[in-house]
Structure 1
Amino acid sequence: MWNFIAEKWRETINHWRDYPLRTGTVWMGRYRIERFLGMGSYGQAYTCTDIENGCAVLLKRSMPSKLELGRLLLERESHILKALDHPQIPKWIHYAKGGRDEALIMELIEGENLEHKMMVQGRTFTLQESLGTIKELIQPLKHLHQAGFVHRDVRIPNVLDRSGSIYLIDYGLACRIGEQLPEELRALLKETDSADNNASSLQGGSWAAVKRRMRKPYPSSDLYGLGHLFLFMMYAGYEHEEGQAERGWEEELELPQAVNHFIRRLLQQSEPGWLSAVQCEQDLEQLIAALA
């Protein structure tokens, strides 16, 4: 009984510690909280005004209840973002520390993510729009890979559209190419060597297996993520007929064979796959030109 009470008490304390900062609060004497954007497993995001210069910024704060582990993840993201300089990647501005509180300050990209467009607005995409989005995302990925890093989380929530310009955000899971994460961190992120990494489609294999494949510290993992992102965009306009048996994505979407082959290579279902975003980009440009 005592263990149960103690656990509930810890949960209450953690919820209190992780309660979002109030609008109007001036964090660290410099950043005025304007809006709470959301909370992930290890951090909180806010739009803020830097009162020293009046600029709007994004503040990503480590989750207080996650203690040192939350700060470690945030510091890793800060180091990686600081090393990058690309117009489709949020710019690093500052890393602030104060007691147990730490936050990453970066460029605020005002836009809508693809997940919101599809799930809330009911937005659908043509084949050309979907391929165009993939082409746009290859640009920041090329820069990221050439800098020696891999994103490891290329998904629709992490793609922002600002007036037609595409941005790749959230580098919280990024790492150096080939990096073996500390055991404690791997356990927390549920990255195990025994995972089934052969999920072949949105229908075949679990989404957990898909994510585990995306977490591999190699550029091909980001291309794999692009493949699934493309399928999500195409499925936004797909209507499943009642009573129809579930089929593979190639049968359901009825795409041109050249597109099927390209996506199979992104998903590494066809040989050879690509080892770099540069190689993938060259073939994608040829594909788009052939479909025009």
Structure 2
Amino acid sequence: MKNRYEVLRVIGMGSYGIVYLCRDLNTNENRVVKQLRPSKRRKEVEMFEHEISILRMLNHKNIPELYEAFSTNGSLFYAMSFIAGDNLEDQIFLRENTFNENESLLILSHLLDLVDYLHKKNIYHQDLRIPNMLLRNKELFLIDFGLSKHKVVPFHSSPNKHDEILEMKLQDYFDLGEILLYLLYTTYSSKGKKALPWTEELSLEKETVYLLKRLLQLKEPYSNTTEISTDLQAALKATEKRN
């Protein structure tokens, strides 16, 4: 692989790419190298190149750093920093870790900071899910920008463009709500219980319920991350008082 990266193991395999943990022979550091399968069509090549272009725009300690993109024997690759840590999906389902209300809100707070950073760069992740988040010593990292969108609305643009941006923002906000709900359910046991709506199954502070309802668009949706942050801080204070 470019005579620079020694493959240590495969750490991920998707429909159009393979992700390797590699050793950089120049620096002796671990890197993550993503490969686009060589048989893929032009659309997949464009998506791969788009992901590289998104990563080039980012410079945040909790997001992988892109080092280089290259091609070898007809395959496209890019190398990025390796972040040690378990993704949230493995923490919940393999390690059976649980997160109480306060811990769940704290994770959301870290994630919201990252979403705010992206949105200020006119980047919308569009794939905020527990497999795409790594947790290491209570520090959250966001990965996988394959479905991310970069959109800048010119000052004099059509209402349709503004609607498109709003839709992408609301998608990210909705995903934040789903992640929070997922985390909150880690402490809930459904054994022998009849399935009910989350508002009845979970015992939550009213501030957390309000936050969730707006994120999930059951009440008036949020219009920006500042609004979300205000309500999130109120929910955190309520859980801290209880504890």
Q: TM-score, with normalisation over the residues of structure 1?
A: 0.74
1:286 paired residue number? 234
Partner SS state of residue 74, structure 1? helix
Tell me: higher relative CO, structure 1 or 2? Use CA pairs within 8 A at least 6 residues apart. 2
Structure 1 counterpart of 2:202, from 249, 253, 266? 253
Structure 2 counterpart of 1:101, from 75, 88, 91? 75
Paired AA for residue 90 in structure 2: H
User: Matches of residues 202-241 of structure 1 in structure 2 within 5 Å?
Assistant: 218-241=168-191
1:42 deviates by 1.5
Structure 2 counterpart of 1:266, from 215, 218, 242? 215
1:178 deviates by 7.7
Unaligned 5+ segments in structure 1 are 1-26, 180-215
Paired AA for residue 223 in structure 2: L
Measured in 2, the distance between the counterparts of 1:275 and 1:91 equals 29
Tell me which moved more, 37-46 or 276-285.
Answer: 276-285
Report if aligned partners of 1:43, 1:70 keep a CA contact under 8 Å in 2: no
Report if aligned partners of 1:74, 1:104 keep a CA contact under 8 Å in 2: no
1:55 deviates by 2.0
User: Matches of residues 28-107 of structure 1 in structure 2 within 5 Å?
Assistant: 28-107=2-81
Is 2:94 the partner of 1:151? Answer: no
Partner SS state of residue 66, structure 1? coil
Measured in 2, the distance between the counterparts of 1:252 and 1:233 equals 14
Partner SS state of residue 39, structure 2? helix
1:140 paired residue number? 114
Partner SS state of residue 113, structure 2? helix
Q: TM-score, with normalisation over the residues of structure 2?
A: 0.88
Partner SS state of residue 227, structure 2? helix
The Cα offsets for residues 6-53 of structure 1, whole Å up to 9 and x where unpaired, read as xxxxxxxxxxxxxxxxxxxxx121111111102011211111111122
Report if aligned partners of 2:207, 2:238 keep a CA contact under 8 Å in 1: no
Is 2:94 the partner of 1:129? Answer: no
The Cα offsets for residues 221-264 of structure 1, whole Å up to 9 and x where unpaired, read as 1111111111111112211132x332101101121222111101
Measured in 2, the distance between the counterparts of 1:38 and 1:291 equals 37
Measured in 2, the distance between the counterparts of 1:247 and 1:109 equals 38
Measured in 1, the distance between the counterparts of 2:152 and 2:199 equals 32
- Over aligned residues, Cα RMSD in angstroms? 1.7
The Cα offsets for residues 185-215 of structure 1, whole Å up to 9 and x where unpaired, read as xxxxxxxxxxxxxxxxxxxxxxxxxxxxxxx
2:158 paired residue number? none
1:138 deviates by 0.9
Measured in 2, the distance between the counterparts of 1:81 and 1:279 equals 27
1:68 deviates by 2.7
The Cα offsets for residues 56-77 of structure 1, whole Å up to 9 and x where unpaired, read as 1110111223243332221111
Paired AA for residue 286 in structure 1: A
Displacement over 4 Å in runs of 4+: none
Task: Figure out how many residues of one structure are paired with residues of the other and give that number.
Answer: 228
Is 2:224 the partner of 1:276? Answer: yes
Unaligned 5+ segments in structure 2 are 154-165
Report if aligned partners of 1:47, 1:59 keep a CA contact under 8 Å in 2: yes
Measured in 2, the distance between the counterparts of 1:69 and 1:217 equals 23
Paired AA for residue 276 in structure 1: N
